[in-house]
Amino acid sequence: MNHPESDLQKACVKWFDLQYPQLSNLLFHPANGGRRNAREAARFKAEGVRPGVADLILLVPYNFGLPKCQVLDYYLCIELKSDKGRQTEYQKAFQHDVEVAGGRYVVIRSLDEFMKTINDYLL
């Protein structure tokens, strides 16, 4: 089976862990996706699984070297898509909520785009 978004996500996490090992625990996948039987899906929903949540979340403020009063975004949500992939309505709603709450949300389609986004965000 071909899983381009999964392959991209694995490459992004591997690069991040090598580039920013001191921050690696702050970049994570919320494990929201996948198929489950009805009982397991109900349990996950009761535990807080939400549709549309981004693939990766980085709990580091934008340009974290700045004084706190100058920090603009307090976390980064990353949705990974293949070249032809499109956001679902749930993902668009999640993006809206993140941005209203003061976070940053990006859609990434390549490892190069991920590396540039992370470096621009952190440096």
State the pTM of this model.
0.88
67: left (phi over 0), alpha (psi -120 to 50) or beta: beta
- Position 44 scores a pLDDT of 85
Q: What is the pLDDT of residues 18-45, one digit of tens each?
A: 999 999 999 999 977 667 788 888 888 8
Residue 27 in contact with residue 57, Cβ under 8 Å?
Answer: yes
Q: Please, which residues bridge with residue 5 across strands?
A: none
Decide yes or no: CATH 3.40.50.300 for domain 4-122. no
- Position 41 scores a pLDDT of 82
For residues 33-58, give the mean pLDDT: 87
